[in-house]
Structure 1
């Protein structure tokens, strides 16, 4: 749930998650996490603990969705047949703010 202790959360270059993350001391530090290092695509769906989702992605967008206003990554992902399917992944499910730094946590 990194987004609850972070400000100015945005996506850079379609795959780098950026934010100012609050530290326990109260100060906020700028942090980046390259989602290509922790998120891939399999059969037209996002897959955690994989890599390089952008190789199979188009129209990548970060939106704040749902009743809890969570950071959701949306994209058109190519499946094995070359078709593009829209998929969404909740970034808050596997990314945390650890002492002012965005970190991937093995969540599945």
Structure 2
């Protein structure tokens, strides 16, 4: 069986990757050359690969590592670690804006206002 991950970027760009059933979202990103930050190699220790998944019907339930790293508040906001989240159907994964780019954008906006 095949599953599908549709990556949604903050700039409005979408990328679709088809993977084998049960593979992780991070594996889909790497396979499809999707720009998704990750540092720890899929060991759930850095949280840089987090994504937001509004409808989680087609993915695995949050595991203990995810709950510990994201907290129950993060889980309640539909945040997931892409290295731990396995895909079984079609799923939409929203990639958050890079924190450095967000900070630069904020500073530029502030500068323009002054």
TM-score (norm 2): 0.28
Answer 1 or 2: higher relative contact order, Cα 8 Å, separation at least 6.
Answer: 2
Give the number of the structure whose alpha-carbon radius of gyration is greater: 2
As a proportion of its length, which structure holds more strand?
A: 1
Please state which structure has a larger fraction of its residues in helix: 2
Tell me the TM-score normalised to structure 1 length.
0.29
